[in-house]
Amino acid sequence: MDKQKRIVLLGSTGSIGRSSLAVIDSLGEDYEVLALSGHGNWRLLAEQARKYRPRRAVLTNPKHLADLKAALRDVPDVEISGGPEGLTEIASDPECDIVIAAVVGAAGLPAVVAATKAGKTLAIANKESLVVAGCLLVPLAQEYGAKILPIDSEHSAILQAMHSGSRSEVEKIIITASGGPFRQTSAEELAHVTLEDALNHPTWIMGPKITIDSATMMNKALEIIEARWLFDLGGEQIEVLIHPESIIHSLVEFCDGSVIAQMSPPDMRLPIQYALTYPARMPCPSPRLNLHELGQLHFEPPDLERFPAIRLGFEVARRGGTAGAVLNGANEGAVEAFRKGKISFTQIAELAEQCLNNHNFIDKPNLQELLEADQWARRQIGRHVGVPQQTVSSQKGI
């Protein structure tokens, strides 16, 4: 039997993408890179293509396609293409065993849908896809025999802890959060934090969008919704706990009161590798835990007044339907506006809440309705800041 796993890595030029390649390097020749994608960073994509010799390299933003082609002129075995359609093509490549979804934002959704419909094992970091369309992706995975495995460290922890009992024995999950850079910042000061402050995460080094989401704690909101879909939980079965050291990545409480935690130093290579080797475990390059050196771990409840995004996460997990698409679309638009200096830090969650309160909720939406909800939310933010927002469905290939 051919043991080799062929991997399509969507978003290889990002933080998770680069860590995924480090994991693939360390796993050795049983894992082969079949295709890579980048968006703007054509130089890094060229370097990666030169090193891994995938069959295809896709540059989703075709602006620098000619530069990428020129950089790889002497590597004719790599087929190079530009535009978002290429993502859905490589995500459903019949030769591929595992798709790693590491694109940021709802832009990753069309490829995630394509991989699911092609019955792939989907190692998903792109939580926004689950937040927008978890209500469709989970049944689609069942229908087409796809397996969705989390890369997000909290959800990987939950998956690992769940192996201590049967699904029906799970009472609740406790998702941990570092609290981000503003854990101890007053409500008054929060209104004035700068982009630079928000990009300075205390425990994790990540891409800019998720770093800002961690600062507003919208990341935790997205993770509550992600967990709701991945593990089929009711909102009342999910708790959030602030744990500043980011050593316990999440916990599962079983019906007998036993609580199982997954612990490791904060390093994404471990959860990425677990998704690739699941259910097996392999030696991993991430550092080992030394509790003796750490001495103490700390915990506190989340402050829903200063970080209202968490409350929105619970609300959306309870409502389902189009609520996830609206929250995510509004957040992506608002984060973009904050990065451009158009709104203040605290307006991100405020605007997202306004969108949630004002939208025409659909309980059982189809993909088109989810995409329309996403567009509607982005338009609301665009109107607020006076800048038209880019939409997911303006892409082709869904």
One residue of 127, 228, 243, 249 binding ligand NDP per CB under 6 A: 127
One residue of 68, 113, 131, 206 binding ligand NDP per CB under 6 A: 206
Instruction: Give Cα 354 distance to the centre of its chain.
Output: 24
226 or 372, CB closer to Mg ion?
A: 226
**Min CB(152)–Mg ion separation in Å:** 4
Contact characters 164-203, ligand NDP, x per CB under 6 A: ----------------------------------------
**Min CB(152)–ligand NDP separation in Å:** 4
Beta carbons of 38 and 59 less than 8 angstroms apart: yes
Query: 226: closest CA among 129, 153, 305?
Result: 129
How many Å apart are CA 79 and CA 8, to the nearest integer? 14
Instruction: Give Cα 230 distance to the centre of its chain.
Output: 12
* Torsion angle, alpha carbons of 11, 392, 200, 156, to 10: -60
93 or 152, CB closer to ligand NDP?
A: 152
* Binding residues for ligand NDP, total number by CB under 6 A: 27
Decide if residue 335 touches ligand NDP (CB under 6 A). Answer: no
Are β-strands 56-59 and 5-10 bridged in parallel, bridged antiparallel, or unpaired?
A: unpaired
The set of residues, in sequence order, having a beta carbon less than 8 Å from that of 290 and lying 6+ positions away, is none
Decide if residue 268 touches ligand NDP (CB under 6 A). Answer: yes
180 or 321, CB closer to Mg ion?
A: 180
Decide if residue 332 touches Mg ion (CB under 5 A). Answer: no
The set of residues, in sequence order, having a beta carbon less than 8 Å from that of 25 and lying 6+ positions away, is none
**Residue 202: strand, helix, or coil:** coil
Of all residues in the shown chain, the one whose CB is closest to Mg ion is 152
- Residue 350 half-sphere exposure toward CB, CA atoms < 13 A: 10
Decide if residue 331 touches ligand NDP (CB under 6 A). Answer: no
Cis peptide before 279 (omega within 30 of 0): yes
Decide if residue 213 touches Mg ion (CB under 5 A). Answer: no
Total Cβ atoms within 10 A of residue 375: 19
One residue of 152, 253, 315, 374 binding ligand NDP per CB under 6 A: 152
Decide if residue 315 touches Mg ion (CB under 5 A). Answer: no
* Binding residues for Mg ion, total number by CB under 5 A: 3
178 or 347, CB closer to ligand NDP?
A: 178
One residue of 8, 15, 81, 276 binding ligand NDP per CB under 6 A: 15
How many Å apart are CA 384 and CA 170, to the nearest integer? 43
Q: Which does 41 bind (CB under 5 to 8 A by kind): Mg ion, ligand NDP, none?
A: ligand NDP
One residue of 8, 24, 57, 102 binding ligand NDP per CB under 6 A: 102
Q: Which amino acid is at 88?
A: T
Decide if residue 150 touches ligand NDP (CB under 6 A). Answer: no
The set of residues, in sequence order, having a beta carbon less than 8 Å from that of 298 and lying 6+ positions away, is 243, 244, 245
332 or 372, CB closer to ligand NDP?
A: 332
Total Cβ atoms within 10 A of residue 192: 11
Decide if residue 93 touches ligand NDP (CB under 6 A). Answer: no
Angle at 200 between CA 379 and CA 134, to 5 degrees: 45
By CB under 6 A, the residues from 18 to 57 that bind ligand NDP are 38-41
Contact characters 113-152, Mg ion, x per CB under 5 A: ---------------------------------------x
128 or 253, CB closer to ligand NDP?
A: 128
- Tokens for 387, please give them: 């800048």
Q: Which stretch binds ligand NDP (CB under 6 A): 7-15, 179-187, 315-323, 378-386?
A: 7-15
Q: Which stretch binds ligand NDP (CB under 6 A): 123-131, 344-352, 358-366, 368-376?
A: 123-131
How many Å apart are CA 352 and CA 393, to the nearest integer? 20
Letter string b/e over residues 229-253, b meaning 16 or more CB atoms within 10 A of that residue's CB:
bbbebebebbbbbbbbbbbbbbbbb
One residue of 64, 91, 122, 128 binding ligand NDP per CB under 6 A: 128
Beta carbons of 330 and 377 less than 8 angstroms apart: yes
Beta carbons of 156 and 222 less than 8 angstroms apart: no
Q: For binding to ligand NDP (CB under 6 A), which residues are involved?
A: 11, 13-17, 38-41, 60, 102-104, 107, 125-128, 152, 204, 206-210, 268
Q: For binding to Mg ion (CB under 5 A), which residues are involved?
A: 152-154
